[in-house]
């Protein structure tokens, strides 16, 4: 059964119904600089939705809690380039804010060095 959040945008037989360049009105360059780990979060609670189209509203819903650009991209199933354009529109409108990701944002017990070393060794074996 298809995911209800993705249902209007995807068709099992046809694939994506709306092409990514259509979502961003053909724009490929955001007005704000983001990297994939940039944190984005709404500026007001509840977020203001006046004048937002469906794509911007979907992105805004994901930014209620601090979220990375990569997470937003993965959750809505659109390329990061398109998501960055949508996010820059929301920053320009003043409904979200950004902050650069820093390792200090992670809780000290989140980093498992043994797991990271195991991943590194596994990658080296396959390269």
Global pTM reads: 0.62
Asked if 95 and 60 touch (Cβ cutoff 8 Å), the reply is yes
CA distance 26 to 18: 12
CA distance 80 to 29: 11
| Per-residue pLDDT of the chain in tens (127 residues, 90 and over written 9) | 444 444 455 545 544 455 555 555 556 666 788 889 999 999 986 667 777 788 888 899 999 999 999 999 999 888 888 889 889 989 988 899 998 877 666 666 666 788 888 889 888 987 7
Domain ranges within the chain, ordered by starting residue: 10-103
CA distance 82 to 54: 14
The pair phi, psi for residue 40, each rounded to 5°, is -125, 145
Topology annotation, domain 10-103: Arc Repressor Mutant, subunit A (1.10.10)
**Whose CA is closest to 23, among 47, 51, 57?**
57
* CA dihedral sign, ordered 3, 49, 74, 115: negative
CA distance 99 to 77: 23
For the purposes of burial, counting CB atoms within 10 Å of the CB of 75, is it exposed (0-12), middle (13-18) or buried (19 or more)? Answer: middle
Give the residue carrying structure tokens 């820059």. 88
Asked if 34 and 98 touch (Cβ cutoff 8 Å), the reply is yes
DSSP code for 27: -
């Amino acid at each position: 059964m298809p995911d209800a959040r993705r249902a209007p945008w995807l068709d099992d037989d046809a694939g994506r119904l709306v092409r990514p360049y259509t979502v961003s009105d053909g724009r490929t360059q955001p007005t704000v600089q983001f990297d994939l780990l940039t944190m984005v979060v709404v500026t007001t609670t509840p977020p203001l939705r006046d004048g937002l189209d469906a794509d911007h509203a979907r992105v805004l819903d994901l930014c209620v809690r601090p979220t990375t650009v990569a997470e937003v991209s993965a959750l809505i199933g659109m390329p990061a380039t398109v998501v960055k354009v949508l996010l820059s529109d929301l920053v320009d409108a003043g409904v979200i804010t950004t902050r650069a990701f820093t390792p200090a944002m992670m809780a000290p017990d989140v980093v498992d060095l043994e797991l990271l070393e195991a991943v590194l060794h596994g990658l080296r074996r396959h390269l």
